[in-house]
Amino acid sequence: MAKQTINIGAAPNDGTGTPLRTSFDYTNQNFTELYTALGGGVGLPGATTQVIFNDGGTNLAGDAGLTYDKTTDALTVVGALSGSKLTVTGGTIPANGVYLPAANTLEFAANSLAQYRIAPLGVFSWYDGAGGTRMTLNSTGLGVGAVPTAAFTLFGKALISSANPDVNALQLIANTGTNAVGVNFSNTGGQYYIGVDNSVGGRYFGFPYSLNLSIGGLYPIVLATNNTARLIIDSTGNTLIGVSSANANGGVLQLKSGITFPSTQVASTDVNTLDDYEEGTFTPTIVGGTTAGVGTYVVQSGNYTKVGNLVTFRLYVATSAHTGTGAMLISSLPFTSNGTGNQLYSVSITNLGGLTLTALNVAQAYINNGVNYISVSQYATGGGASAAVPICPAPYIVVTGSYMV
């Protein structure tokens, strides 16, 4: 309603003003609007409470309003929280709404339980709906499950720490003194740490700029897949792959099965590095030193094992006829021998037949450097120079030995 104004005329009793009855009607209308706005249409508040705003309801109890209590010096929004309205009550938690549980502190409630709190000095708390603290953010840091004691606190334990970790905690380590950065898990049994460190003699073993994966206490590091341990490093330093416990008399590396090397060797220049292992078969042949010729073979059998640069072999070869001429050579070894000069490798003839030897001579065999064949020679039992054994049409020979590649 617009304000009703009474015309008092230009002079007393000049007959130009508002009639007396109309004037009192204006007065009643104006007072009714004031009482409705400030007192719900019934009466004005008492001496201790003053209603600053009321939206026109019939009483304070059922109508939203902003009141100021002179006695307690409290400002309160009274009424239900619905639609776009915001209700702020006093220090008593409402069923649903906003209230002031302490000085300069605002709290939000749902189902008569605190949900969020905003407190002085930038403190924000998030509750779990049952009265417990789920997360708190303050000037110290962010805490989950408890008030923070460090920049980040997880259930009362510092999540980021520059010192030794708390027990039963998950922590991010950031130590500016040693430049250690990592993640630490700990409980009463020990600590597990993974991180980067450039300290010397520090608690993370002091390997400069290293990636550390370590565990404290007498506990192993276990890597598992499909609920099965695949790699274990136990507390004494044994590395176990595919086995669950160390052989007390075994080495520091213990495997369930073998080590596989690539089919093509990746050679290492380090004299202490094993860079190849291979097992296989080959087909030995007999050739002539002057004319290789062609043989009719009865047996061609060969096996070898190569470990690093050492080849160990066994062969058996026999022919029923051969067209070659010159010295007898056993060819087609699995690898060519080392090409360094003056390196000869003696091998053993364990059985032979069909060869033509000089009387009282003994057959022997060797591998020269940079070749893939065995030379067969003979020498007199009384001493003297050796000579080549000529190729024969139907020999058989069994040889074992080793050579370097």
- 340-368 residue pLDDT tens: 888 899 999 999 999 999 999 999 999 99
% of the chain residues with pLDDT over 90? 39
pLDDT band per the 50, 70, 90 thresholds, residue 288: very high
Among 219, 241, 269, the domain-final residue is: 219
Say what the pLDDT of residue 93 is: 84
Q: What's the burial of 404, exposed, middle or buried (CB within 10 Å: 0-12/13-18/19+)?
A: middle
**Nearest-5° Cα angle at 33, 30 to 34:** 90
Question: Does one domain contain both 70 and 168?
Answer: no
Is 108 among the domain residues? no
Indicate whether 155 pLDDT > 60: no
Q: Once rounded to an integer, what is the mean pLDDT over residues 27-38?
A: 80
Lowest mean pLDDT: which of 92-101, 157-166, 254-263? 157-166
Say what the pLDDT of residue 355 is: 94
Say what the pLDDT of residue 392 is: 94
Among 219, 236, 256, the domain-final residue is: 219
pLDDT digits (tens, 9 = 90+) for 258-285: 889 999 999 999 999 999 999 999 999 9
Say what the pLDDT of residue 58 is: 46
Indicate whether 26 pLDDT > 70: yes
Is 242 among the domain residues? no
Which residues partner with 173 through β-bridges?
Answer: 161, 182
pLDDT digits (tens, 9 = 90+) for 216-253: 667 788 889 998 999 999 988 899 999 999 999 999 99
Question: Does one domain contain both 289 and 213?
Answer: no
CA distance 401 to 113: 88
Question: Does one domain contain both 300 and 399?
Answer: yes
pLDDT band per the 50, 70, 90 thresholds, residue 37: low
pLDDT digits (tens, 9 = 90+) for 43-90: 666 555 555 555 444 444 444 456 666 566 666 655 554 544 555 667
More confident residue, 286 or 129: 286
Lowest mean pLDDT: which of 115-119, 151-155, 285-289? 151-155
Question: Does one domain contain both 397 and 290?
Answer: yes
Q: Once rounded to an integer, what is the mean pLDDT over residues 186-208?
A: 61
Question: Does one domain contain both 75 and 152?
Answer: no
Mean pLDDT of the chain: 80
Is 364 among the domain residues? yes
Say what the pLDDT of residue 33 is: 81
Domain that holds residue 74: 29-79
Question: Does one domain contain both 284 and 387?
Answer: yes
pLDDT digits (tens, 9 = 90+) for 177-188: 556 667 777 776
CA distance 41 to 32: 7
Question: Does one domain contain both 198 and 285?
Answer: no
Is 119 among the domain residues? no
Is 48 among the domain residues? yes
Among 63, 79, 95, the domain-final residue is: 79
- What single string gives the DSSP state of each residue in 376-390? EEEEETT----EEPB
Indicate whether 287 pLDDT > 50: yes
CA distance 349 to 359: 18
What total number of domains does the chain contain?
3
Question: Does one domain contain both 213 and 285?
Answer: no
Indicate whether 201 pLDDT > 80: no
Question: Does one domain contain both 168 and 56?
Answer: no
CA distance 324 to 331: 13
pLDDT digits (tens, 9 = 90+) for 308-343: 999 999 999 999 999 999 999 999 999 999 998 888
Handedness of CA 237, 242, 245, 246 (dihedral sign): negative
CA distance 70 to 137: 34
Is 296 among the domain residues? yes
Question: Does one domain contain both 159 and 72?
Answer: no
pLDDT digits (tens, 9 = 90+) for 373-383: 999 999 998 88
pLDDT digits (tens, 9 = 90+) for 103-143: 888 888 888 888 888 888 878 887 876 667 777 777 776 67
Is 128 among the domain residues? no
pLDDT digits (tens, 9 = 90+) for 11-22: 888 888 889 899
In eight-state DSSP terms, residue 312 is E
Is 257 among the domain residues? no
Tell me the HSE value of 129 on the side-chain side, using a 13 A CA sphere.
2
Say what the pLDDT of residue 258 is: 87
